[in-house]
Structure 1
Amino acid sequence: MIAETNWKHVKATRYEVAVLPWGATEAHNWHLPYATDSLQNEAMTAEAGRIAWEAGAKVAILPNMPFGVQTGQLDIPFCINMNPSTQMAVLEDTISCLEGVGVPKFVVFNGHGGNDFRQMLRELQARHPKIHLSVVNWFHMDAGKDIFTILGDHADERETSLLLHLHPDLVLPKSDWGEGKDNLPILKAMREKWAWSQRPWTQATNDTGSGDPQHSTAERGAQYFERLTQKFASYLIELAAADATRLYQKA
């Protein structure tokens, strides 16, 4: 954890992978804190980093970036928007610093659905050939279909269970939880999901939640957290040991 590490330790260590957790500051139904994405990121990367480090992988976890793309939520107070162009500039500066001191691999650990780093990394990889760039969206690692009853995509059973496990003091009582019902698009192509446009959040949802959290428990959150962190740690261990110039083999 670089924020908690000193220069004496850093100077003596040859790091193989740097991880930048990237979250958001936004409303999460009525009952979860605005920092939900960032709190999950911080806990997941800390635990995965610990597992990887104890396995011998020299992994550096950078401080979480707390602002994400919120262009569909500009009418909700304190949903702090960071435009993709700004994210690109932040990544450029961060990657330049890491490449300049010889860190060979960089991972963006994304915890917010409104962030999309793939096209940015395509462009940045061409400009920074000496450092391997990748992104992990934790919500794509494992949906938890065998753990949860109702899957959603924002302040749902998964996120509520994770926060009940990680920060129960920040979750309102169950009597205050919203239903997380989505409003259906009027346009048929949008409903069938072969056309896309940004969701205006206060039109698309009723309580800023997308997914019913009613079955959430801390126990389910703990089970899911362990699965996600073990899986991410395995990627970090494998990536740290790999030669970044030879990541493919003939079929």
Structure 2
Amino acid sequence: MVYRSMGEDPWSFAGKTYSEIAEVAERDGSVLIVPVGSIEQHGHHMPVGTDTILVDAVANLGAERVVDDVPVLVTPPIWTGYSPHHMGFGGTVTLDHDDLLTVLEGIGESALENGFDALLLLNGHGGNASLISSATSTIGRHHSEVEVLGLTYFQLATEFISDIRESDVGGMGHAGEFETSLMLHLRPDLVREDRLEGTPQDEQYDQAGQDLLVGGPLSVYRTFEKYTESGAIGEPELASAAKGEEIFENLGEQLSDLLNQIHEQNAESVTTSG
């Protein structure tokens, strides 16, 4: 996949003037997407910017697929997240929990001053998930006239991943088969294919999450050194660019369906209230 410079796409918030942003926001059912990533270690074979690169790509793919029908803009990604559990490996830049929540609230609330009907916080890092949920609630409480939503993008893959994955449960963890495949498709130049190494996730509690796409009701905190020596969890050696392309296209379909629903829901609400 060839990346264009920030601002070239018609759905790019950063590439528009303030009056052009207002024109999009003022249309019925307008949607603003804020991608939220992280800078953290991804084993020996993947760059620390993986989560930010992937969530930004998915957000832009979803917007690209609906831009002819939906007034939608995508902001530049928030590049740091909540990653204290990765600090032991190095290469990680993290915010404290409350600081990241404040950042999300500030970005969301100020962006909504432009007049959008809906805000989607699109998350790309598992450690941010609870914060995205909290920010959705706190921003929404102060902007009851706007629909505020939060989503971790890779959860969209639960609808189709069983037809693609080769690994057993535990193989699609952090920097495992899933994320490595996406990076091999999107940014193969950043994947060190001669250093593919991971440890399949072996969770002690049956009720806890078993890998990236097999969750559980039990939350457990451990540093990553307790799971893996390399920093990667899963089976990255099963990754391929072909799988990554299939995953990416399916994610685009799932996200574009959601964006259409958000638009229709809020366009109807605006029409009804008017």
| TM-score bin (small chain) | 0.7 to 0.9
1:197 offset after TM fit, Å?
Answer: 2.8
Superposed, 1:163-202 pairs within 5 Å as 163-173=183-193, 175-182=194-201, 185=204, 190=205, 192-193=207-208, 195-202=218-225
CA distance in 2, matches of 1:209, 1:30: 8
Q: What amino acid does structure 2 have at the position aligned with 1:209?
A: A
Secondary structure of the 1:108 match is strand
Whether 2:9 is the aligned partner of 1:9: answer no
1:164 offset after TM fit, Å?
Answer: 0.5
Matched-pair contact (CA < 8 Å) for 1:29–1:180: no
Matched-pair contact (CA < 8 Å) for 2:105–2:135: no
In the other structure, the counterpart of 2:245 is 222
In the other structure, the counterpart of 1:107 is 120
RMSD (Å), alpha carbons:
2.1
Matched-pair contact (CA < 8 Å) for 2:21–2:114: no
Q: How many residues align?
A: 241
Superposed, 1:141-160 pairs within 5 Å as 141-143=156-158, 144-150=161-167, 151-160=171-180
Shift in CA distance, 87/172, structure 1 to aligned 2, threshold 3 Å: same
CA distance in 2, matches of 1:100, 1:184: 44
Superposed, 1:67-106 pairs within 5 Å as 67-106=80-119
Stretch moving more, 130-139 or 114-123: 114-123
Which consecutive unaligned segments of at least 5 residues does structure 1 have?
247-251
Matched-pair contact (CA < 8 Å) for 2:101–2:135: yes
CA distance in 1, matches of 2:88, 2:105: 29
CA distance in 1, matches of 2:192, 2:71: 38
Matched-pair contact (CA < 8 Å) for 1:181–1:206: no
* Larger helix fraction of residues: 2
1:245 offset after TM fit, Å?
Answer: 8.5
1:130 offset after TM fit, Å?
Answer: 2.0
CA distance in 1, matches of 2:135, 2:163: 33
Shift in CA distance, 96/196, structure 1 to aligned 2, threshold 3 Å: closer
In the other structure, the counterpart of 1:249 is none
Q: What amino acid does structure 2 have at the position aligned with 1:4?
A: G
Q: What amino acid does structure 1 have at the position aligned with 2:188?
A: P
Q: What amino acid does structure 2 have at the position aligned with 1:162?
A: L
CA distance in 2, matches of 1:57, 1:199: 42
CA deviations 1:87-132 (Å, max 9, x no partner) are 2211221222233232121001111010122133223322221221
Which consecutive unaligned segments of at least 5 residues does structure 2 have?
1-11, 209-216, 270-274
1:207 offset after TM fit, Å?
Answer: 1.0
Q: What amino acid does structure 1 have at the position aligned with 2:146?
A: I
Shift in CA distance, 76/58, structure 1 to aligned 2, threshold 3 Å: same
Shift in CA distance, 191/126, structure 1 to aligned 2, threshold 3 Å: same
Whether 2:60 is the aligned partner of 1:40: answer no
1:77 offset after TM fit, Å?
Answer: 1.7
1:183 offset after TM fit, Å?
Answer: 5.6
Please report the TM-score for the alignment, with normalisation by the length of structure 1: 0.88
Secondary structure of the 2:253 match is helix
CA distance in 2, matches of 1:221, 1:6: 34
1:12 offset after TM fit, Å?
Answer: 3.3
Whether 2:259 is the aligned partner of 1:236: answer yes
Stretch moving more, 193-202 or 57-66: 193-202
Please report the TM-score for the alignment, with normalisation by the length of structure 2: 0.81
CA distance in 1, matches of 2:40, 2:232: 11
